[in-house]
């Protein structure tokens, strides 16, 4: 196999519609140790790939470069959320938001993003699953306030005023204390 340059790999990820070409370029990118997440995002967004193929590439990339796993999982989730939403395929998005949360437990991003996916008319992803995910992750977050606010909102949607009030209080309690007043300009 002829060696591909990073530019050749980029072009294939963007333009190729053949799985074998994409796979060859991906393998070469890994062999070269290319760690540019922007490069792999082109591959993830390639419309010629099936969801299973996108998962395969993403899982392999995350295994090869564990320090990139959070970004890989967040991008996979966003790809499945946007690209396959028309098929009500939020399961893959939810799977990768969970993996992102496991890769970086203190980050609120996966929790907030899955909250944005909720379609109330269709109840997808299921509200119970989202609530469970948010409640499980909130205690370990650096900044839990926005997640507590989402929980309050979701309990509002369910008509559970008691739990909504509880999470509103938790959000207020998690706010940093106000700092000293700035000095007036001189």
3-class secondary-structure state, position 119:
strand
At residue 149, what are phi and psi to the nearest 5 degrees? -65, -40
Q: Are 138 and 151 in contact (CB under 8 A)?
A: yes
pTM of the full predicted structure? 0.87
Quote the pLDDT of residue 179: 52
Q: Is the dihedral of CA 42, 47, 48, 51 positive or negative?
A: positive
β-bridge mates for residue 124, sequence order: 119
Q: Is residue 26 part of a domain?
A: no
Q: What whole-number percentage of the chain has pLDDT above 90?
A: 78
- What average pLDDT does the segment 165-186 reach? 72
Output the six-digit token pair for 46. 């390639």
Answer yes or no: is 2 within a domain.
no
- Name, in order, each residue with C-beta under 8 angstroms of 12's C-beta and a sequence gap of 6 or more: 4, 21, 22, 24, 25
29 in a structural domain: no
Residue 125 is predicted with a pLDDT of 86
Residue 21: Cβ within 10 Å count: 14
- Domain with 75 in it: what CATH number? 1.25.40.10
Task: Name the band, by pLDDT with cuts 50, 70 and 90, for residue 180.
Answer: low
Model pLDDT, residue 176: 62
Range name among 14-28, 72-86, 142-156 with the lowest pLDDT average: 72-86
User: Which of 11-15, 49-53, 95-99, 143-147 has the least mean pLDDT?
Assistant: 49-53
Confidence of residue 186 (pLDDT cuts 50, 70, 90): very low
> Is 135 contained in some domain?
yes
41 inside domain: no
Tens-digit pLDDT profile for residues 3-53? 899 999 999 999 999 999 999 999 999 999 999 999 999 999 999 999 999
Asked if residue 82 belongs to a domain, the reply is yes
Which residue do the tokens 């996916």 mark? 117
Residue 63 lies in domain: 50-173
Q: Indicate if the pLDDT at residue 107 is higher than 90.
A: yes
Contact, 13 vs 25, CB < 8 A? yes
Mean pLDDT within 138-142: 94
Classify residue 88: in a domain, yes or no: yes
Q: What is the number of structural domains in the chain?
A: 1
Give the pLDDT score at 155: 97
Inside any domain, residue 147: yes
Averaged pLDDT, 94-103: 96
């Amino acid at each position: 196999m002829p060696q591909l340059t990073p530019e050749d790999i980029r072009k294939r990820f963007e333009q190729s519609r053949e799985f074998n070409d994409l796979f060859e370029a991906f393998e070469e990118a890994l062999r070269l140790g290319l760690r540019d997440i922007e490069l792999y995002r082109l591959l993830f967004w390639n419309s010629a790939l099936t969801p299973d193929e996108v998962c395969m590439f993403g899982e392999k990339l995350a295994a090869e470069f564990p320090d990139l796993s959070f970004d890989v999982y967040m991008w996979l989730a966003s790809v499945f959320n946007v690209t396959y939403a028309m098929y009500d395929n939020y399961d893959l998005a939810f799977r990768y938001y969970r993996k992102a949360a496991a890769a970086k437990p203190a980050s609120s991003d996966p929790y907030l993003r899955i909250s944005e996916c909720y379609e109330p008319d269709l109840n997808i992803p299921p509200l119970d699953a989202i609530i469970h995910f948010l409640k499980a992750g909130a205690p370990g977050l650096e900044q839990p306030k926005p997640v507590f606010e989402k929980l309050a909102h979701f309990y509002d949607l369910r008509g559970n005023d008691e739990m909504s009030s509880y999470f509103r209080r938790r959000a207020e309690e998690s706010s940093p204390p106000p700092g000293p007043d700035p000095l007036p300009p001189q």
